[in-house]
Amino acid sequence: MRTQALLSAPVVPTLLRLSAPGVLLVVFQSMVSVGDTYFVGRLGTEPLAGLALVFPLIMLLQMTSAGAMGGGVSSAIARALGSADGRLARRLVVHALVIALAMGALFTIVILAFGDAMYRLLGGSDDTLAQALAYSQIVFGGAVAVWIANTLSSVLRGTGNMLAPAATLIAAATIHLPLSGWLVARIGIAGAAIAYVTTFAIAALVMAMLVWRSALRPRSGDWTLEWHLFREILRVGAISMLSALQTVLTAVIITGFVGRYGAAALAGYGVGLRLELLQIPLVFAVGQALVVLVGTNIGGGHPERARRIAWTGAALAASISCAIGAAVSLFPLAWVGLFSADPAVLESGSRYLRTVAPFYPFLAAGIALYFASQGAGRVLRPVLAGTVRLVLVIAGGLAAVSLQGVFMVIAAAMIAFGALTLWFVATAKWK
């Protein structure tokens, strides 16, 4: 019944209905992110700068597990259900969980081993570096919990069930915020990290119960591992992870460029960047609906309907980011002032938002169409648009001779990413 609705129901109401739980989830998760930044900001400039050093890697953890590999999982399951193959969908659940365990362990090993060197390269030193490590080691020590929670969430979304995973993660967010505030006040920045891992572990347990009570619960014959089923997920998920890596690497490299101008500039940029990166989960709410709708329609043999869904979703995402960008361009202190009263932090954060925020719609449209391409199983060319953005940031950042110059490079690269993705999808052949 749910799959048939995805194949035939009116596009706009269906897209809005599927996006709504995710949008509500973003509101709660944004409160968590803002709350953590507020709690840590009360500890001083160095903890806030330390949080800015780690934040791009936190986004990498989230984007790879939920948006990249998660998109591969949702897309594969949606296409299987669209072609009425329930057994294939159950077997894909097993393979998705194996991937989640392996990737969570990899994140833990890499960040615990090389986190110190990474943060030093980004300009971290002395107390700023110590604060970054105190937060990072706990968060990435629990990376498996994040991967399992987001993978099971993607499994449920692949069936068109957007409400259950959103409700579970919203409940986790309501636990996180007071727990983080209480812990940070007592043990410092490590308290926010403990709250993060704890609430994701709870979410993983709840969603495991939901999956095991659904039609996707693996049966005795579904546990045999086969490479072609890993490939079905990875042919979208692995390439999408490259996109996530490029997105966060872009933020990391820019963080390094900004770090040359001091802790206050870094803290101000980190606050501004947080608003930009918070839009990714907001667009993700629309994007996850696009993955399922496009994937189901591709699996069901309706490519033209899938394409119409993609353009509708891109317009919706761009409209949301346009409103956000216009507001913070006009009133940047309304955002930056939430996290710091340091004049230097306020100045650098405001300058960043005035320069970059007007071009948020390009970022949003590009990301939405990238998710639609995940659903179609044709994600390589949108990933290449992210590569162009990364190259422009590196070349322009090296050439920039001022903080304002770095910010202008960020804006130009954002425009290029959005425009290229629009062109790539417009000329793609989905089938």
Segment 216-228, tens digit of pLDDT: 888 888 888 888 8
pLDDT higher than 70, residue 1:
no
Position 101 scores a pLDDT of 94
List all residues 6 or more positions away from 43 whose beta carbon is below 8 Å from its beta carbon: 184, 188, 189
The residue extents of the domains of the chain are 10-426
Q: Evaluate if residue 31 carries a pLDDT over 90.
A: no
Nearest-10 crossing angle of helices 303-330, 343-356: 140
**According to DSSP H, which parts of 66-142 are helical?**
69-82, 86-121, 126-141
Alpha-helical runs (H) found in 142-219: 143-158, 163-187, 190-212
Tens of pLDDT, residues 152-210: 998 898 887 778 888 898 888 889 888 988 998 888 888 889 999 999 999 999 999 99
Q: CA–CA separation, 186 vs 188, rounded Å?
A: 6
What whole-number distance in Å separates Cα of residue 19 and Cα of residue 27? Answer: 13
pLDDT, tens only, 341-381: 778 788 888 888 888 889 999 999 998 898 888 777 777 88
CB atoms within 10 A of CB 205: 14
Element (H, E) at 424: helix 403-426
Q: Please report the pLDDT score of residue 2 as a whole number.
A: 58
Confidence band (pLDDT; 50, 70, 90) for 38? confident
CA-CA distance, 208 to 212, in Å (whole number)?
Answer: 6
Are the C-beta atoms of 358 and 329 separated by less than 8 Å? Answer: yes
Instruction: State pTM to two decimals.
Output: 0.73
CA distance 297 to 254: 39
Of the chain, the percentage scoring pLDDT greater than 70 comes to 97
What are the backbone angles phi and psi of residue 125, rounded to the nearest 5°? -160, 160
Each residue of 244-279: pLDDT tens digit?
788 777 777 877 788 777 777 777 787 777 777 677
Element (H, E) at 363: helix 360-376
